[in-house]
Structure 1
Amino acid sequence: MDRWTPSLVEARLSEAAFVLKRLPEPRLRGYFSTWPEIIHSFADKVGQEPKRMRVLPSPQAISRMEETLSWTVGLDPVDGKIVWLRAYGYRWREVCRAVGLQRASAHHHWVYAMCLIAHRLNNRRLNPRLSMQQVIDLARADDPAL
Structure 2
Amino acid sequence: MSSWTPALVEARLSEAAFVLKRLPEPRLSGYFSTWPEVVQSFADKVGQEPKPMRVLPSPAAISRMEETLTWTAGLAPMDGKIVWLRAYGYRWRDVCRTVGLRRASAHHHWVYGLCLIAHKLNRISISQRLSMQQVIDLARADDPAL
Q: For the superposition of Structure 1 and Structure 2, which TM-score range results when normalised by the shorter chain? A: over 0.9
Where does residue 123 of structure 1 map in the other structure?
123
- SS of residue in 1 equivalent to 2:70: helix
Alignment of 1:131-146 (within 5 A): 131-146=131-146
Q: Which whole-Å CA distance do the structure 1 matches of 2:39 and 2:144 have between them? A: 58
Greater CA drift, 42-51 or 116-125: 42-51
Per-residue deviation, 1:15: 0.4
Number of equivalent positions: 146
Question: Which 5+ residue runs of structure 1 have no aligned equivalent?
Answer: none
Is residue 35 of structure 2 the alignment partner of residue 29 of structure 1? no
Q: Which residue type is aligned with residue 56 of structure 1?
A: L
CA deviations over 1:87-137 (Å, ceiling 9, x no partner) = 001001111111010011000000000000000000001111000000001
Where does residue 18 of structure 1 map in the other structure?
18
- SS of residue in 1 equivalent to 2:125: coil
Cα RMSD (Å): 0.8
Q: Which whole-Å CA distance do the structure 2 matches of 1:127 and 1:16 have between them? A: 29
- TM-score relative to the length of structure 1: 0.97
Greater CA drift, 106-115 or 45-54: 45-54
Moved over 6 A (4+): none
Where does residue 8 of structure 2 map in the other structure?
8
